[in-house]
A and B are shown apart, each in its own frame.
Chain A
Amino acid sequence: MDWQAFALSLRLAAVTTAILLAIAVPLAALIVLGRGRWLAAVEALATLPMVLPPTVLGFFLLVLLGPRTAFGRGIVALLGHPLAFSFDGLVVGSVIYSLPFAVQPLVAGFASVDTALVDAARLLGAGPVRLVSTILIPLARRSLLAAVVMSFLHTIGEFGVVLMLGGDIPGATRTLSIVLYDQVEGFNYAAAGHTALLLLGLSIFALALIYSRTRSHGVAPRDA
Chain B
Amino acid sequence: MLSFSLNAHRGAFHLQVEGAFAADWTVVFGPSGAGKSTLLRLLAGLDNPRHASIVLDGRALTDSAARLCLPPGHRQTSLVSQQPALFPHLTALANVAYGLRSLDRAARARRLDEVLQLVGATGFAGRRPQELSGGQAQRVALARALVAQPRVLFADEPTGSLDTLTGEMVMDLLVGMAREEGTTVVLVTHDARVAAYAEREVMVRDGRVLNPASSQVEVAQ
B134, CB-defined interface residue at 8 Å: no
Residue of B nearest to A130 (CB): B101
**Alpha-carbon distance between A116 and B80 when the two chains are bound, in angstroms:** 10
**Alpha-carbon distance between A200 and B81 when the two chains are bound, in angstroms:** 50
A116-149 CB mask vs B (1 if < 8 Å, else 0) is 1101111111110000001100110000000000
B47-81 CB mask vs A (1 if < 8 Å, else 0) is 00000000000000000000000011110001101
- Chain B residues whose C-beta falls within 8 Å of the C-beta of A134 in the assembled complex: 98
A114, CB-defined interface residue at 8 Å: yes
B44, CB-defined interface residue at 8 Å: yes
A141-159 CB mask vs B (1 if < 8 Å, else 0) is 0000000000000000000
Most central of B72, B86, B148 by chain A CB within 10 Å: B72
Q: Is the CB of B46 within 8 A of A119?
A: yes
Q: Is the CB of A135 within 8 A of B44?
A: no
Most central of A123, A127, A134, A135 by chain B CB within 10 Å: A123
- Chain A residues whose C-beta falls within 8 Å of the C-beta of B31 in the assembled complex: none
A81-120 CB mask vs B (1 if < 8 Å, else 0) is 0000000000000000000000000000000001011011
Size category of the A interface is 10 to 19
Q: Is the CB of A117 within 8 A of B46?
A: no
| With known contacts A122-B73, A125-B73, A117–B148 Cβ distance under 8 A | no
- From the candidates A114, A117, A123, A135, name the one contacting B72 in the complex (CB within 8 A): A123
Q: Is the CB of B88 within 8 A of A116?
A: no
**Alpha-carbon distance between A125 and B98 when the two chains are bound, in angstroms:** 9
**Alpha-carbon distance between A114 and B85 when the two chains are bound, in angstroms:** 8
Measured CB to CB, the closest approach of chain A to B164, in angstroms, equals 23
Q: Is the CB of B98 within 8 A of A116?
A: no
Q: Is the CB of A124 within 8 A of B73?
A: yes
**Alpha-carbon distance between A117 and B95 when the two chains are bound, in angstroms:** 11
Q: Is the CB of B85 within 8 A of A119?
A: yes
Q: Is the CB of A120 within 8 A of B148?
A: no
Residue of B nearest to A119 (CB): B46
- Chain A residues whose C-beta falls within 8 Å of the C-beta of B78 in the assembled complex: 123-124
**Alpha-carbon distance between A120 and B137 when the two chains are bound, in angstroms:** 14
Most central of B89, B98, B99, B101 by chain A CB within 10 Å: B98
- From the candidates A124, A126, A139, name the one contacting B148 in the complex (CB within 8 A): A124
Measured CB to CB, the closest approach of chain A to B185, in angstroms, equals 15
Q: Is the CB of B74 within 8 A of A117?
A: no
Measured CB to CB, the closest approach of chain B to A20, in angstroms, equals 24
Residue of A nearest to B81 (CB): A116
**Alpha-carbon distance between A125 and B79 when the two chains are bound, in angstroms:** 12
- Chain A residues whose C-beta falls within 8 Å of the C-beta of B71 in the assembled complex: 122, 125, 127
B160-177 CB mask vs A (1 if < 8 Å, else 0) is 000000000000000000
Interchain Cβ contacts under 8 Å between A and B, 16 examples: A114-B85, A116-B85, A119-B46, A119-B72, A120-B85, A120-B86, A120-B87, A121-B87, A122-B46, A122-B73, A123-B79, A123-B99, A124-B99, A125-B74, A125-B99, A134-B98
New A-B pairs, 12, CB < 8 Å, besides A117-B85, A126-B73:
A116-B85, A119-B85, A120-B85, A121-B87, A121-B98, A123-B46, A124-B73, A124-B148, A125-B72, A125-B101, A126-B98, A127-B71
In the A-B complex, the 7 residue pairs with the smallest Cβ-Cβ separation, listed nearest first, are A125-B73, A124-B99, A116-B85, A122-B72, A120-B85, A123-B72, A138-B89
